[in-house]
Amino acid sequence: MNPIIPLLDMKAPYLELQAELDACCRRVMESGWYILGQEVEQFEADFAAFCGVKHCIGVANGLDALRLILHALDIGAGDEVIVPANTYIATWLAVSQTGARPMPVEPVEVTCNMDPQRIEAAITPRTRAILPVHLYGQPAEMAPILAIAARHGLKVIEDAAQAHGAVYQNLKAGALGDAAGFSFYPGKNLGAFGDAGAVMTNDDALAERLRRLRNYGSTVKYHNEEKGFNSRLDPLQAAFLAVKLRRLDEWNRRRETIAQFYLRELAGCPALILPMAAAAARPCWHQFVIRHPHRDALQAILTRQGIGTLIHYPIPPHLSPAYRELGFTTGDFPLTEALAGSVLSIPMGPHLSLAESQRVVDCLWQASKELAA
């Protein structure tokens, strides 16, 4: 039996960078400083420079990053925010946590991202912002989205949780709208060793408010200018992230090499639909997502062969019990539902070897032929 190929090797990044990461642990522990401070400020400066954005504000996780942006823009009860129907539920939760209502828009099938041509139909007098997601590390079509937002006086907030280092029209994800939220959940392209997140913005006043909001509404200790939250980036995670950030370009290039290998070697595979990037976009290949009409059968065969796969995501937010109160039913967002029934993520990551990706390709060809017979 061949060894198992995981969807993502979670431990490999630590093993590759062990000496540097262990040194971070010691440095932070010995500093005696465990909330905000120099480690957080250094990573914020590094990641702001990486994204080409003026301000980075480190927060506790990606969901908080999005929620705090909405809060800082005074979006809340009675407001509506346009979101992709096809996304991870966190995008919607950030909106509902402020009291605002998520207004779903169907995707373009080729990229799985929000369809700009369907946005205007979802705009009402209550709409305050558009929240596109760069799903799977594929940049959303930002040019038409920004044009629509400008026409209607709306803010654009990027959910860049899967898009560290992705590029659109020569700008990095995180630099494309009024503000962006990143997650550093361990499985992301830039992942911490625990929960972590960040907000990016070029707006000085918004940045200042976000720095207050993440820290009890205060910049000066015990002077609380507004009702804030406790959502700070942990200094130990900041130290780890600064080390991993220095590898991000290289690790994203390794992902790109694998993606190009898959695209070349899987072309023509019966009934298989391969991912495609939007024009002017350079994805960071967070996930490599294929589609197949007999997805569940395909996944079962791959599992038997020791190939790790995952469905991102099996239940779209509008059909999740969590959003029962919005009253959506099956058939309301047919493109999103079709994707949920056909998508499959296959192994992808900076530590996947060429031999392993070859075995994934071989198994997929064999399985596709079997299912076509």
- The residues that touch ligand PLP, with contacts defined as CB under 6 A, are 61-63, 87-88, 90-91, 133, 159, 161-162, 183, 185, 195, 197
At 56, give phi and psi (nearest 5°): -125, 130
At closest approach, how far in Å is the CB of 304 from ligand PLP? 28
CB-nearer residue toward ligand PLP: 200 or 364: 200
CB of 365 to ligand PLP, least distance (A): 30
Q: Which is nearer to ligand PLP, 173 or 363 (CB)?
A: 173
Spatial CB neighbours of 57, under 8 Å, sequence gap ≥ 6 = 44, 198, 199, 200, 201, 207, 210, 211, 214
Strands of the sheet containing 80-84, edge to edge, are 55-59, 197-201, 179-183, 155-159, 127-130, 80-84, 101-105
Q: Which is nearer to ligand PLP, 298 or 348 (CB)?
A: 348
Q: Around 61, how many Cα atoms within 13 Å sit in the side-chain half-sphere?
A: 12
Q: How far is the CB of 190 from ligand PLP (least distance, A)?
A: 11
Q: How far is the CB of 161 from ligand PLP (least distance, A)?
A: 3
Q: How far is the CB of 162 from ligand PLP (least distance, A)?
A: 5
Q: Are 153 and 146 in contact (CB under 8 A)?
A: no
Q: How far is the CB of 173 from ligand PLP (least distance, A)?
A: 11
How far apart, in whole angstroms, are the C-alpha atoms of residue 254 and residue 272? Answer: 23
Nearest approach, Cβ of residue 99 and ligand PLP (Å): 19
- Min separation Cβ 346 and ligand PLP, Å: 17
- For residue 182, give the H/E element and its range: strand 179-183
Helix, strand or coil for residue 65?
Answer: helix
Name the residue whose CB lies closest to ligand PLP: 62
By beta-carbon proximity to ligand PLP, the closer residue of 36 and 68 is 68
Q: Which is nearer to ligand PLP, 137 or 368 (CB)?
A: 137
Output the 3-class SS for 228-259. Answer: CCECCCCHHHHHHHHHHHCCHHHHHHHHHHHH
| Beta carbon nearer to ligand PLP, 186 or 217 | 186
Minimal distance in Å, beta carbon 151 to ligand PLP? 26
58 and 43 Cβ atoms separated by less than 8 Å: yes
Taking the alpha carbons of 253, 254, 257, 259 in that order, is the dihedral positive or negative? negative
For ligand PLP, which is the closer residue by CB, 62 or 347? 62
Nearer to ligand PLP, 91 or 336 (CB): 91
Burial bucket for residue 311 (CB in 10 Å: 0-12, 13-18, 19+): middle
* Spatial distance between the Cα atoms of 317 and 249, rounded to a whole number of angstroms: 32
**Residue placing its CB nearer to ligand PLP in the complex, 175 or 298:** 175
Among 243, 244, 253, CA closest to 285: 253
Residue 10: Cβ-neighbour burial (10 angstroms; 0-12, 13-18, 19+): middle
DSSP symbols for 112-160: -SB-GGGTGGG--TTEEEE--B-GGG----HHHHHHHHHHHT-EEEEE-
